[in-house]
Chains A and B, each alone.
Chain A
Amino acid sequence: MEVTENNQHHTEAEEKYLPGMSLTRPFTFIGEKVIGWINVLGTATIFLCLALWKTFRPKQFSKVIAQIYYIGARSTTIIILVSLFTGMVLGLQSYHALIKFGAVGGLGALVSLSLIRELGPVLTAIMITARAGSAITAEIGIQRISEQVDALHTMRIDPFRYLISPRIIAAIISFPLLTAVFDFIGIIGGYISGVALLGLNAGVYSHSIQGNVDMKDLTDGFIKAIVFAVIVATVCCYQGYFVHMRKDSHGAKAVGMATTSAVVTSCVLVLVSDYVVTSLLLI
């Protein structure tokens, strides 16, 4: 295209169709996205560090206890239900798979190791994200859009200390405890389907667990639970706290979008970090 003096001043719409531009556009798009993600990652890291730093301030204990009750204690029922049926279906499927190889005696080890090392921490994190994580985002988001967070500023109450720190600390305490509950109930679920329903010897089931599960398995499971707690709590609090800065929506709709985004991002990050942490722990 011949560029004359008259058409040097292109409009925005025209610029989209310039031949050179169409070639670079995908790279511009990818570059913008990557820079955006790096920005968010940096902000979220600072957000987490500030929240952890503000944990060690006076008058935090009661707030942390209240959040442990909300995130932890009130999630117990759903965790028991999910873990029981996860253990039962795991026992059922594993029994029929193992019987083909004549290795049904290893059912207890298979169920318990699967739960302790993998399913327990992951499913607990996902369940808490769905139950408490979404509520955290919505609650903080509504407080943000109704100027309650600004009100905290004007009262010289640090919103990080008052809103964020207790939730992150409560998550770090609650996740491993709920994971332990999940593991224990899941193993009972495996026992119900394997022993009570399919007739495996109870001693064989428990002996297999005792002989194959060691302390490292438990520790690794709990390390994962703590990592997931940090991820879920940070993502959910972050999405709620910065709901007013969303570009795609405003007000109540923004809170809805932030809640959805918090749940989806948390679940994806839990699965991605599960792989990364597992790899690191197996080295």
Chain B
Amino acid sequence: MSAIPLIEFKNITKRFGSQTVLNKVNLQIYEGQVTTIIGLSGSGKSVLLKHIIGLLKPDEGTILFRGKPMAEMKKSEVRESLAQISYMFQGNALFDSLNIYDNIALPLIETTNLKKAEINRRVMARIEQTELTEATYKFPSELSGGMQKRAALARALITDPRIVLFDEPTTGQDPVRKNAILSMIAQYQRKFNFTAIMVSHEIPDVYFISNRILALYNKTIVFQGTPEELGNFDHPFNDEVIHSLEGLQKELTGLYSKRQFKMLKHVQLKRRESGENYCIAVFTLLDLDTIISVLGHDAAQEVIHSMGVYIDKHFGAIGGFSTRRKSNEFVTMLPFSDLAETESILKDFVTDFQAQGIRDIWAGAQKLAPSDKCVDFAILAGIAEGPPVAEIDFIIELAKSQQKEIGRLRCAAKE
């Protein structure tokens, strides 16, 4: 992390008429990171984002870009700074009278002197990367919400910006597509190394891809730090915002968030005063990036989602609870089982998984993948036992070190 923040807000206040939307907001955004601003709907997250791109001007306070106040910059400097930023609107803001190709090409046509052939090459590359080939010459109104989001993302990335602002990029998406969009943002952020600033209330999904979280509550920023640090943040924001959103998360995906997982683990273990051990199982989907590049984001997310549901279905029935720990990793806790019992449960799970589970997962992915594409994929599982006093992260690492392949699907087998 560089010492000087890329963007810094100092005591920013914004009012619309008599209504104060932002009140003395202070924040820092660092280069090369994914920073997510979380907060409830209508809390002023989009207003905050619009200040960064210059669509709104603060009533009070200073915005600094690489340590320099924007208000004191020359017009050309401001232009140069803003030229590094792209913005993906919450409602996509695609031009409905232009087809997808023209929408994506627009910034290049209007703001560069590139030749037509070069523009075409760049646009087609982005269209392919965002899996919009079939929609190239369709109008936005002819596309699904998810495809429109991807078109908006492709347009935001077409000029190779250094900073990309995402205003609720997953709004209105189902859990699979929501994760696909977040994974796409994370993947492109790594690939193109831009600074991503995202506004979202997809908690805890955004934790997986964010380096820093900023919490907007009561018109001001009440927390800045890593997702892990947010876990220890003692503030009404946690009860009112995070817990309510995480509750919804459980309803949608059937999986607990990392935070809920930890809390539940704590409660479960407390109940076991006899000092009996508990078990942890860790499942990992191998080569996620290959799956994404061959089958696309939607199909890859479907694989992950189905895997999570399958694990939860099996282990939930015997008192286990699961969470997604990384983009391709699931952790299941079995508070009432010892190692021998867990081994036996896992054995049954593996038999069932090899016979049917992996095929079900592939069948789900196939619906969203191009019909001629296919990729080998494997799933690992490992278990470990720990005493109630042991740190769960240590037991998870132990389980990971014990991982073995429990299922592999080869292309030939799929055909």
Residues of A within 8 A of B (CB): 59, 139, 142-143, 146-148, 150-151, 153-157, 162
Determine the distance from Cα of A209 to Cα of B214 in the docked complex, in whole angstroms.
Answer: 78
Top 9 closest pairs, chain A to chain B, by CB: A151-B93, A154-B87, A147-B93, A155-B107, A157-B110, A147-B89, A148-B93, A154-B53, A156-B111
* B349 interfacial contact with A, CB 8 Å: no
A144 to B86 alpha-carbon distance, docked (Å): 19
Cβ distance A283 to chain B, nearest Cβ, rounded Å? 45
Interface segment, B37-45, B77-85, B188-196, B399-407?
B77-85
Q: Which chain B residues border A139 with CB–CB below 8 Å?
A: 97
Residue of B whose beta carbon sits closest to that of A155: B107
B91 proximal to A (CB < 8 A): yes
Set of chain A residues within 8 Å of B97, measured between Cβ atoms: 139
CB atoms of A156 and B87 under 8 A apart: no
CB distance from A189 to the nearest CB of B (A): 36
Complex Cα gap A151–B85 (Å):
12
User: Measured between alpha carbons, how far is A104 from B96 in the docked complex, in Å?
Assistant: 56
Residues of chain A within 8 A of B109, CB atoms compared: 59
- The yes or no answer to B340 lying at the interface (CB within 8 A) is no
* Interface: B267 (CB within 8 A): no
Bound Cα distance from A59 to B113, whole angstroms:
10
Bitwise interface map of B from 283 to 303 toward A, beta carbon under 8 Å scored 1, else 0: 000000000000000000000
In the assembled complex, 17 residue pairs joining A and B whose CB atoms fall closer than 8 Å, in A order, are: A59-B110, A146-B93, A147-B91, A148-B95, A148-B96, A150-B93, A151-B87, A151-B89, A151-B93, A153-B53, A154-B55, A155-B155, A155-B159, A156-B79, A156-B107, A157-B106, A162-B110
Interface residues of B in 355-411 (CB under 8 A from A): none
Query: Which of B54, B79, B91, B106 contacts A155, CB < 8 Å?
Result: B106
Given A154-B55, A154-B85, are A146 and B110 neighbors across the interface (CB < 8 Å)?
Answer: no
Evaluate whether A156 and B93 lie within 8 angstroms (CB atoms) in the complex, with A59-B110, A150-B55, A162-B110 already known: no
Cβ contact within 8 Å between B55 and A153: yes
Complex: chain A residue closest to B95, CB-CB: A148
Chain B: minimal CB distance from A145 (Å): 10
Determine the chain A residues whose CB is within 8 A of the CB of B107 once the complex forms.
155-157
A59-B110, A155-B107, A156-B107 given; name 10 further pairs at CB < 8 Å: A139-B97, A146-B93, A148-B93, A151-B87, A153-B53, A153-B55, A155-B106, A155-B155, A155-B159, A156-B111
Q: Give residues of chain B (73-127) contacting chain A, Cβ–Cβ below 8 Å.
A: 79, 82-83, 85-87, 89, 91, 93-97, 106-107, 109-111
Q: What is the minimal beta-carbon distance from B347 to any residue of chain A, in angstroms?
A: 55
CB-CB under 8 A from A59, the residues of chain B are: 109-110
Closest to A162 in B: B110
Which residues of chain A are within 8 angstroms of B106 by Cβ–Cβ distance?
A: 155, 157
Closest partner residue, chain A, to B97 (CB atom): A139
| Least CB distance, A64 to chain B, in whole angstroms | 15
Bound-state Cα–Cα, A151 to B111, Å: 14
* Residue among A139, A148, A162 with most chain B CB within 10 A: A148
Alpha-carbon gap, A150 to B82, bound state (A): 14
Contact B110 A155 (CB under 8 A): yes
Closest-CB distance, A128 to chain B (whole angstroms): 20
